Structure 1
Amino acid sequence: MSAAEEFEQHRDLLFAIAYRMLGSVGDAEDVVQETWLRLAAADARPVSMKAYLSTIVTRLSVDHLRSARVRRESYVGTWFPEPLLNDRYEGPEESAELADSVSMAALILLERLTPLERAVFVLREVFGYSFAEIAAAVGRTEDACRQLGVRARRHMDEGRPRFDADQRDRERLAARFFDALYRGDVERLREILTADAALIADSGGKAPLWGAGIFGRENVSQLLATRFRALLDIGISVEPHTVNGQPGAVFRDRAHHVLHTWAMDIVDGQVQTIRTVLNPDKLRHVGPVANAWAVLREANHAAKRQRPLN
């Protein structure tokens, strides 16, 4: 088997590592491509292709995180990772854990870690690498990696949400949720949303935004019922998708351009958080991006024509 063929066998795993490290589809693809270039330029064939490639992609991701930290600190408003519609890598026995590890909530928590803590956590907790393999990948001793892993897990455990375990249960609840939205049924929405429900968006200052977010079951249900109907009235379509391993959707305008995405956290049989990515820079990998400002103006006109909800 050629080096190129072996690389292709590992490509999805490399992307999965890089995306969890970086929270960006485009940056993860760039890191994977650079990994291939490093392999192609190597003088000798590595003994373990997986270990060699994992080391390169991890080190490139750590370097990228260090250089990107200033940009993240100056980001306008709430930062969410770029939405991932399909996680191309699935482990043999831990697909549920893999799905949760790529959730918006988990990736936001990973932002609290240092680049090395993040690398150790992703390799160990998500993909099951040994500490010997991790030590070789990050250039630290095994003891140092164990310490990094303990700190990383402590930070993650402090804030990690407890999603409903059964993916089918999540999907059934999401179907009920969207049915209530289509019907404009505020009462059913109230039943599906948790008391502390939140609708939070990432616009990066480049798309319309409802302040810092909408919070509380009553506020979220009223806004969703009103705004969703207005979007439907102007021809916005909603495509249910698994987004970052959780139930979600892609919203498109009449020209089939991407308006925004949703990813939902479902906890104890209710929708707790809806995370919306509006920043057009984070949507281009999904497809051509809509003009969100024009859609907002049209939706506002449509909302004014609606009868008040009871």
Structure 2
Amino acid sequence: MDHATATFQKHRPRLLGLAYRMLGTQADAEDVLHDAWLRWHQQDANVLDDAEAWLVTVTTRIALDRLRRAKTERQHYTGPWLPEPLVEETEQPEAQLERNESLSLSFLALLERLTAEERAAFLLNQVFDYSHAETATMLQISEDACRQRVHRARQRLREGRPRFTHAPDVQRRLLEKFRDALEEASVPSLQALFAEDAVHLADGGGKVRATLRPLHGGERIVRLYSIIAQRYQALPIVHRLQWLNGAPALLTWVDTKLATVAWIDTDGERITGIHSLRNPEKLARLEAVTNPGADTSLS
């Protein structure tokens, strides 16, 4: 491996983590890294004072351009848009990519509230720990403008942040109860799980059946899932809990096809939010590397 390739590979986890958080899909993030690699390959690394800064800057700008286009396209998306789970080489929750709350699917969905420019500034400064001055240089803006973008981003995220905890054991416990309630088609069990003001979001992308707007209220969500549970009784269903993006998620197969990936927000006692990813295009990569018959336990 030559020096240029070794340098790029050394920083690749950070670059992929940044691009994925910017765009919310692994395919788009990998496309960004491909473009960054081509530019890196054309760059004389010997004249650079800081290879990491150069690579992060280029990756950010490519991702920013892609995100601006994606936001225009997502305005015409059918129903809510949810991020695509990251498929890694390992399923362990302590895996690479500088894992923390900012990689969770719930947080990635929350980032959609930001403008492309706010998202880039926030991620560089608040997640990847670059100073305001460094972030401003990467984004080619003034330091004051950078501070304003980060401030606005933090306000937007604070306003939209649901009441939830990221403790994996709490999420796992509630997801296990949710799985059991679906398998038993138990309405009382479902009712005991959801907070009164819970919110349900489903992303079918217009390709499969899914609610087209956020569903508010635990009672309405229970009615929805009681219907789904009854339907599941007549189908060959496999539910499996698995780590995705550092937190437990419930994967559901129907006729050996991955049909749904669900993750939750919780106040520690009940489910306050449930996200249901059903768009088959976003599930295809995960389906290819998961086994519906595998052990369902999460350690």
* CA deviation after TM superposition for structure 1 residue 242, in Å: 3.0
Aligned 8 A contact 2:78 2:212 in 1 = no
Structure-2 residue corresponding to 1:198: 199
Give the 3-state SS of the residue equivalent to 2:123 in structure 1. helix
* CA deviation after TM superposition for structure 1 residue 68, in Å: 2.3
Aligned 8 A contact 2:45 2:51 in 1 = no
Aligned 8 A contact 2:119 2:153 in 1 = yes
Query: Structure 1 residues 274, 243: CA separation in 2 closer, same or farther (over 3 Å shift)?
Result: farther
Identical counterparts, % of pairs: 37
Aligned 8 A contact 2:79 2:211 in 1 = no
Which residues of 2 match residues 254-293 of structure 1 at below 5 A?
254=255, 256-287=256-287
Matches of 1:189 and 1:102 in 2, distance apart? 28
Which residues of 2 match residues 25-40 of structure 1 at below 5 A?
25-40=26-41
The number of residues matched between the two structures is 282
* CA deviation after TM superposition for structure 1 residue 187, in Å: 1.7
Aligned 8 A contact 1:265 1:272 in 2 = yes
Residue 223 in structure 1 maps to residue 224 in structure 2? yes
Residue 107 in structure 1 maps to residue 114 in structure 2? no
Give the 3-state SS of the residue equivalent to 1:283 in structure 2. helix
* CA deviation after TM superposition for structure 1 residue 122, in Å: 0.8
Structure-1 residue corresponding to 2:293: none
Letter in 2 for 1:114: T
Structure-1 residue corresponding to 2:62: 60
Matches of 1:11 and 1:82 in 2, distance apart? 20
Aligned 8 A contact 1:198 1:214 in 2 = yes
Aligned 8 A contact 2:239 2:250 in 1 = yes
Moved more, 59-68 or 239-248: 239-248
Moved more, 22-31 or 234-243: 234-243
**TM-score normalised to the size of structure 1?**
0.82
Root-mean-square deviation over aligned CA pairs: 2.4
Structure-2 residue corresponding to 1:71: 73
Structure-2 residue corresponding to 1:302: none
Matches of 2:199 and 2:154 in 1, distance apart? 26
Aligned 8 A contact 1:184 1:229 in 2 = yes
Letter in 1 for 2:281: D
Matches of 2:148 and 2:112 in 1, distance apart? 18
Which residues of 2 match residues 99-248 of structure 1 at below 5 A?
99=101, 101-231=102-232, 233-248=234-249
Letter in 1 for 2:108: L
Moved more, 49-58 or 245-254: 245-254
Matches of 1:166 and 1:80 in 2, distance apart? 21
Of 83, 89, 104, 2:96 maps to 89
Letter in 1 for 2:104: S
Give the 3-state SS of the residue equivalent to 1:140 in structure 2. coil
Give the 3-state SS of the residue equivalent to 1:282 in structure 2. helix
Letter in 2 for 1:68: A
Aligned 8 A contact 2:80 2:212 in 1 = no
Letter in 1 for 2:80: T
Aligned 8 A contact 2:16 2:97 in 1 = no
Aligned 8 A contact 2:166 2:247 in 1 = no
Matches of 1:185 and 1:231 in 2, distance apart? 12
**TM-score normalised to the size of structure 2?**
0.84
Structure 1: gaps (5+ residues): 290-310
Aligned 8 A contact 2:79 2:206 in 1 = yes
Letter in 2 for 1:74: H
* CA deviation after TM superposition for structure 1 residue 111, in Å: 2.3
Give the 3-state SS of the residue equivalent to 2:68 in structure 1. helix
Aligned 8 A contact 1:249 1:263 in 2 = yes
Matches of 2:86 and 2:45 in 1, distance apart? 35
| Cα offsets for 1:145-189 (capped at 9, x unmatched) | 112111111111111124214222222232233223323332222
Query: Structure 1 residues 229, 288: CA separation in 2 closer, same or farther (over 3 Å shift)?
Result: farther
Query: Structure 1 residues 69, 166: CA separation in 2 closer, same or farther (over 3 Å shift)?
Result: closer
Letter in 2 for 1:268: G
Matches of 2:122 and 2:193 in 1, distance apart? 33
* CA deviation after TM superposition for structure 1 residue 60, in Å: 0.5
Aligned 8 A contact 1:85 1:242 in 2 = no
Structure-2 residue corresponding to 1:16: 17
Matches of 1:105 and 1:158 in 2, distance apart? 14
Matches of 1:280 and 1:202 in 2, distance apart? 10
Aligned 8 A contact 2:201 2:274 in 1 = yes
Structure 2: gaps (5+ residues): 290-299
Query: Structure 1 residues 173, 29: CA separation in 2 closer, same or farther (over 3 Å shift)?
Result: same
Matches of 1:36 and 1:133 in 2, distance apart? 22
* CA deviation after TM superposition for structure 1 residue 232, in Å: 5.3
